[in-house]
A = this chain, B = another copy of it.
Amino acid sequence: MPDKKISIRDIAEKSGVSVATVSRVINQNGRYSAETEARVRQIMEEYNYVPNLLARGLRQQQVPEIGIIVPDITNEFFGRLVVQIESELFEHGYTLTICNTNEDRMIERRYLEMIRAKQMCGLIRISHEHLREEELIDIPTVYLDRIPENIKYTGQCISVESDHEQGGYIATKELIKQGCRNVGIVLHDAEISTKAHEMRYIGYKRALEEANIEFDVKKVIRVKRADCQNGGRAALEFIERRGLPDGLFCTSDLLAVGALDEFLKHGVNVPRQVRIVGYDNISLAKMMMIPITTISHPEHTMVDITCRYFLSAFAKEESELQKKKRIVLPVELIKRETA
């Protein structure tokens, strides 16, 4: 490790120019001679100089850093979003700071304060269903995946989400297309933070209606958590009490995984007796003994739009994104072996 704490002044002295000139070289604004540049660069190299970003940020009243509020990066979907956004922004000179809230509102607030305190220039929120006034920050913001119901599209913000209603619809429609007339649903009863599963449920009902299949509440099982255990329990409930459906739409892959395992354990043939469609396209879904048919989110597009929004916002461009405001993206059916 070379000497510590070399400042722009040191570089200026050693290269025999003023700090302003060094600053110009660093920021490549062109107002210097080729020889000067060469000399300064050489000295910077030699002393392994790195500009102090705190000083720069303080001076410029801004830092090329974007915060992302995310409930839990160990959730595969969020993790992938974060990594892709990070990598894309990094290429453009922006840092992404991950703020993992664990769904805890107080932690989220403390992170919001930090984002302000660090003078970050942008914010991504995978947040709550309802935002309070004091939970807003006046910097370019992208609401991602989980869109607050009371969002006001007045400030500098957009929202990007996938079309859950359509997802529920095409999942169910696929089952019907494959001949199912008795389609059940295992539904994550998410009271907080997102209406996504309810929208999928609405899509499910629309598909039934369109096919003239009567909706039957006996075919609906609501669970409190979207995990394998609950998926298994729901399957058992169908087997032991409610009667086997010939198609089952699970509003999350974890539920589908649990249900599939349980069916197989009880000798129910999937997809012969019961066809299954999951949701989210988690990696587990394709690793099962019988790979699970599922709905995949337009991850890449979500990432792309998010990053493009910031770049245009920082460039003070009036992009089409700024106008659109509320962006809803189509999802895709991934056909595998359970349906």
Contacts and interface: CB of A to CB of B under 8 A. Distances in A.
Interface of A: 1, 4-5, 48, 50-55, 57-58, 61, 63, 72-74, 76, 79-80, 82-83, 86-87, 90, 95, 97-98, 100, 102, 107, 110, 113-114, 116-119, 133-134, 136-138, 228, 257-258, 261, 264-265, 284, 287-289
Given A138-B4, A289-B289, A117 B83 contact: no
Contact of A261 (B54, B102, B289): B289
Highest count of chain B CB atoms <10 Å: which of A74, A116, A134: A74
SS class, residues of chain A in contact with chain B: helix
B289 A265 contact: yes
A54 B138 contact: no
Nearest to A114: B95
A314 B258 CA distance: 47
Contact of A117 (B52, B58, B136): B52
Contacts of A265: 289
Contacts of A48: 134
Nearest to A82: B73
A284 B137 CA distance: 39
Nearest to A261: B289
A1 to B, nearest CB: 5
Contacts of A54: 54, 57-58, 63, 118-119
Contact of A1 (B5, B107, B138, B284): B138
Contacts of A138: 1, 4
B86 A50 contact: no
Contacts of A82: 73
Given A55-B58, A73-B79, A87-B102, 11 more contacts: A1-B138, A54-B118, A73-B73, A73-B82, A74-B80, A79-B79, A83-B100, A90-B107, A97-B97, A257-B287, A289-B289
A52 B54 CA distance: 10
A50 B134 CA distance: 13
Nearest to A284: B284
Q: Top 5 A-B pairs ranked by shortest CB distance? A: A74-B79, A53-B117, A54-B58, A54-B57, A1-B138
Nearest to A104: B87
A5 B73 contact: no
Contacts of A73: 73, 79, 82-83
Contact of A228 (B83, B113, B117, B287): B287
A100 B118 contact: no
A264 B287 contact: no
